[in-house]
Structure 1
Amino acid sequence: MPDYQLGSSYTPPAGVTIVERDSTAHPAEDKYSICYVNGFQTQPEDAGLWKSKYPAAILRDSTGNPVSDPGWPDEMLLDTTTAAKRATITKVLTKSIARCADRGFDAVEFDNLDSWTRSHRALTRSGNLALAKSLVRIAHRDGLAAGQKNTPQLGASGRKSTGFDFVVAEECVKYQECDAYTKAYGKHVIDIEYSDNIGRRWSSVCALKSRPAMTILRDRNLVPPTKKAYVFDHC
């Protein structure tokens, strides 16, 4: 059973065997640990670094301004359109991947693989997958399994062509996308549903034959158990 702890690290609930945390955190003790790396957009706290040292790696609009994710406006999209820009991004993220390995994580997942769908056609699927292939190669070199994040439209190509080992999906039950992942990855699918958007009783989610075996319910902001908004449940 997994837990998704990107908002804050805390002692996992009883029965949890897989824990995902941010690359700036440390892995949970005695658990299979997945390291979160924002592979295709900038983390808010790193915006200054990208702007000052790697400005050409940021996707920009026709006026030269950075293009942000409409859902997360404090995250800028990275520019995957050329081999040179992808090489720069890979160079920067290699440090994050190495940190994951050095701290003892078992795997890494690269978020926002589907950024091309939010780029107003400035980015392409092929450019993003080329970057993904480079990041997966680095992860495997460092002894880490590599996880695909969302992007059901890849089907089996994420595993066969890009080299991903597993999937971390968000709300595949809500959006009826789970089959796309389970057909490609079998039991190696983690699904996180969010309590503010589930739209049905949790027991009915767990009763679905189409859901991944590892399906959990979390609060949207992934707060720790000490906060009133904390939600965690599992099937």
Structure 2
Amino acid sequence: MSPSWMSRSRGQADQVDGPLKASEKRSCLSRQSKTFWMLLVAGIFLLIIAIGLGIGLGIGLTRGSSGGNSGNGGGGSGTPSSPNSTTNATAGEYWKPAAGTSWQIVLENPPTDTSLNVAVYDIDLFDNTASTISKLHANGRKVICYFSAGSYEPNRADSAQFKKSDYGKGLDGWPGEYWLNTNSANVRAIMSARLALAHSKGCDGVDPDNVDGYDNDSGLSLSPSTAEDYLRFLAIGAHSYSMSIGLKNAGAIVNATLDFLQWEVNEQCVQYEECDLFRPFIAAGKPVFHIEYPGSAPSISASARKSACDNNEAHGFSTVMKEMDLNDWVEDC
């Protein structure tokens, strides 16, 4: 289109040029017809090319989205599986102590004496460094790392990560501690991080405490079945890091968890006359790490020793006598 056409209307052009002769009209129509058909053919040709490119591009995109996970070049949307993706709570290679294994437990502070002639030390996950655990390993000890899996503690390094909605009622006798909703995704994420911390420090196993909220006035919807599910979750996580894991107290779920847990840590089953609940671990060749708290400790009378050590239901247990604050003092049977 010429600039002159753009500068004036069609009516003005007709007036200036005047009427066309018939021959000129036919010639003009002929030229217009040829131009029309040429443009039509060109348009069809371009349309065919465009359709072909579109089909090719569509096939390419389809192949890219369906096969992107198969190559090393990537770009696929597949998510790699995590170490915890297995639903088999017994899978993995990890330490499996035998019934009767000797032990010491120190939770009040890092142990000041790491030379005690026992096979296992149970120590606090947060209060002990990797170097302490390495030193115990150098002395031929296995190390179990303790943390509370079922209660909020106010002074732990990750305490601020808990939400108010994760809490239940307070623990009797433990100011500032609250029962946790172990079904909470946030609670489980924090516990997964604790398992990773235990692994990074070199722990051979973990001792998750307070998993028996179902047996207490927790203010939460907890039951033996929710406790079993929670322990299965923790076991899968621990085993994925090649760490063992045990049951803490919780006699009601011994049989439900026996196959995927490696030991029992029990407090005061002699005092409460319930040691028979934990005997399935012994029958399975797994240790019951058993604590009694004589009121006269650290002075132990003959009768107190006999009561703790000679109980028929606790036969074969790895029994120690401790003070309630679980300091370094210990006396075994």
Same fold, judged at TM 0.5 (above): yes
Q: Identity rate of aligned residues, in percent?
A: 22
Work out whether 1:56 is the aligned partner of 2:165. yes
Query: 2-side partners of 1:131 and 1:57: how far apart?
Result: 15
Match of 1:96, SS state, is: helix
Query: 1-side partners of 2:218 and 2:152: how far apart?
Result: 18
Q: What's the CA shift for 1:17?
A: 1.4
Q: Name the aligned partner's letter for residue 57 of structure 1.
A: D
Query: 2-side partners of 1:223 and 1:34: how far apart?
Result: 16
Residue aligning to 2:234: 135
Per-residue CA deviation, residues 1-28 of structure 1 (Å, 9 max, x unaligned), is: 2111111222146321110001111423
Query: 2-side partners of 1:166 and 1:113: how far apart?
Result: 14
Match of 2:269, SS state, is: coil
Q: Name the aligned partner's letter for residue 202 of structure 1.
A: R
Within 5 Å, which residues of 2 pair with 1:11-90?
Answer: 11-12=113-114, 14-24=116-126, 25-26=128-129, 27=133, 28-29=136-137, 30-46=140-156, 49-50=159-160, 54-59=163-168, 67-80=169-182, 82=183, 85=184, 87-90=185-188
2:263–2:281 CA contact under 8 A, matched in 1: no
Residue aligning to 1:63: none
Match of 1:73, SS state, is: coil
Q: 1:137 to 1:101 in 2, by over 3 A?
A: same
Per-residue CA deviation, residues 70-92 of structure 1 (Å, 9 max, x unaligned), is: 13232111113x5xx1x211111
Match of 2:232, SS state, is: helix
1:167–1:185 CA contact under 8 A, matched in 2: no
Residue aligning to 2:210: 112
Query: 1-side partners of 2:156 and 2:188: how far apart?
Result: 15
Query: 1-side partners of 2:162 and 2:174: how far apart?
Result: 22
Q: What's the CA shift for 1:204?
A: 4.0
Residue aligning to 1:102: 200
1:37–1:97 CA contact under 8 A, matched in 2: no
Work out whether 1:209 is the aligned partner of 2:312. yes
Residue aligning to 1:92: 190
Q: 1:56 to 1:120 in 2, by over 3 A?
A: closer
TM, length-normalised to structure 1: 0.82
Residue aligning to 1:62: none
Residue aligning to 2:35: none
Work out whether 1:195 is the aligned partner of 2:298. no
1:42–1:75 CA contact under 8 A, matched in 2: yes
Paired residues, what number? 215
1:33–1:105 CA contact under 8 A, matched in 2: yes
Match of 1:155, SS state, is: helix
1:70–1:118 CA contact under 8 A, matched in 2: no
1:156–1:185 CA contact under 8 A, matched in 2: no
Residue aligning to 1:149: 248
Q: What's the CA shift for 1:144?
A: 0.7
1:218–1:232 CA contact under 8 A, matched in 2: yes
Q: What's the CA shift for 1:48?
A: 8.2
Query: 2-side partners of 1:173 and 1:114: how far apart?
Result: 19
Q: What's the CA shift for 1:179?
A: 1.8
Query: 2-side partners of 1:197 and 1:149: how far apart?
Result: 25
Work out whether 1:158 is the aligned partner of 2:257. yes
Q: 1:96 to 1:48 in 2, by over 3 A?
A: closer
Query: 2-side partners of 1:2 and 1:220: how far apart?
Result: 17
Query: 2-side partners of 1:208 and 1:127: how far apart?
Result: 32
Query: 2-side partners of 1:165 and 1:148: how far apart?
Result: 8
Q: 1:18 to 1:136 in 2, by over 3 A?
A: same
Moved more, 104-113 or 128-137: 128-137
Per-residue CA deviation, residues 62-112 of structure 1 (Å, 9 max, x unaligned), is: xxxxx21113232111113x5xx1x21111111111111111111101100
Work out whether 1:6 is the aligned partner of 2:132. no
Q: Name the aligned partner's letter for residue 218 of structure 1.
A: K
Match of 2:179, SS state, is: coil
Query: 1-side partners of 2:307 and 2:115: how far apart?
Result: 22
